[in-house]
Structure 1
């Protein structure tokens, strides 16, 4: 913890300027992928931001070319190759921590804006969906990604996406698993604005500044009332995702998917 009370983290940074905070995922060489350390620090960050941060709006973004590429496939690969490791148990624990982070993110009483500066895949897409508002750079894209490695969705993906695009369209996107460009994401209602990458953070800050002008109680109640219809079952739903992704990583298709990814090949999944 710094002298100002802001958590000092290694895989992300929290910066506060006036009434606006910025959380920047900071593993650029790994495209801000979620390894156990980043997941743990994300939980620390959102708990602090929900309970103690002296701000009235938050921007979430990524450093380097990506917003967040999802779960770190090197973590999965090591777990699949090392027979002494129990990957499903490790992933179950990781999903539990990630899901607590998502719950704490949703507890934040002020607006949270995702400034999606590049690819948002897998749990990175889930993280963006969990934010209140989403803006995207023209170079950004969104990909469910889980089916490509034989994994079950997590991070709230199957909770938030149907509520944004509708259940039928969400199912279609998850099954077809496209790389959804920024313009298409706007057409789907996933993002509200698409701008050149150089203008993204300025737009995010302008929106944040506009939102800080609203009465705090109004903002808090609007978030509570609008989100109330979904929040009461979020925890149970995230438990289903936690067990789903953990169990999926113990299957042969997960091994096939991860192996094919690192070989640069299209996976040939088996019918079991």
Structure 2
């Protein structure tokens, strides 16, 4: 697939997916979502890719769904009525599932606004790093909708029901520094340092033990739906896999020899 609404590149084991509609603050069209999903599929298939950075071109991560473009050809159900669940089913939800199931870490580098569905895409990354001027906005209530793209699942788990309700019901901006204090994101950096910091984190992960990183991601994401006994069993099984991989012995040898580990991954 050739891309019009995103940019894609790979360097030093890090794939960068960049929303590329800066004139529209990277508002999400169905084409942008299709291209992003295609890029994530490439990341999954490319053995050279060990980590992924998701970000936006220009002064925003993304302002959310492009209402003008999307409503110019509104989604209609079989009965001919407006069906806003349809693009969720066909585009947004599969993208979220793709990001979560990818056995490679996804780092969202949030520059400027992350609003609507884009806020939740950013927050559902494995690590979210934001510029100091960035903010997150659950804008849905302002147009009489509910948070989607996983927002109603994620927010109460991370910040509790009261703060989740506050974000969803009031539809007000959440500054990046407050998002970090609430545990929604991993890190806040000065605006001019965002790209370099996200790339540095991604490259560190790309140099790490790929199999263990994939299983860390799998186990932590599974925890939200598991009881303790189920999670303990999962840890046992995944630890068994890790211990049988050559990266484990390399890590032990590097530790005892006081050198940097040379993980092969795979």
**Fold match by TM threshold 0.5:** yes
Question: Using the alignment, how far apart are the partners of 2:210 and 2:7 within structure 1?
Answer: 25
1:92 matched to which residue of 2? 85
| Corresponding residue to 1:150 among 144, 152, 158 | 144
Deviation, 1:122, is 0.3
Change (3 A) 1:138 1:149: same
Deviation, 1:205, is 0.9
Question: Using the alignment, how far apart are the partners of 1:125 and 1:228 within structure 2?
Answer: 22
- 1:30-54: CA deviation from partner (whole Å, max 9, x where unpaired): 1111112112222222233234462
1:203 aligns with 2:197: yes
Q: Partner of 2:129: helix, strand, or coil?
A: strand
Q: How many residue pairs end up in the alignment?
A: 222
Deviation, 1:208, is 1.2
1:187 matched to which residue of 2? 181
Deviation, 1:141, is 0.7
2:3 matched to which residue of 1? 9
Q: Partner of 1:10: helix, strand, or coil?
A: coil
* Residues 114 and 136, structure 2, Cα contact 8 Å, conserved in 1: yes
- 1:171-197: CA deviation from partner (whole Å, max 9, x where unpaired): 222112220111111111122222221
* Residues 8 and 17, structure 2, Cα contact 8 Å, conserved in 1: yes
1:176 matched to which residue of 2? 170
| Corresponding residue to 2:103 among 71, 89, 109 | 109
1:46 matched to which residue of 2? 40
Change (3 A) 1:119 1:215: same
- 1:134-188: CA deviation from partner (whole Å, max 9, x where unpaired): 1111111100000011112211111122222223321222112220111111111
Greater Cα shift, 10-19 or 162-171? 162-171
Change (3 A) 1:87 1:201: farther
Change (3 A) 1:207 1:78: same
Structure of larger gyration radius: 2
1:126 matched to which residue of 2? 120
Give the unaligned 5+ runs of structure 1. 2-7, 81-85, 233-272
Change (3 A) 1:58 1:78: same
1:61 aligns with 2:58: no
TM-score (norm 1): 0.76
TM-score (norm 2): 0.77
Change (3 A) 1:74 1:175: same
Question: Using the alignment, how far apart are the partners of 1:137 and 1:115 within structure 2?
Answer: 8
CA RMSD for the aligned pairs?
2.2
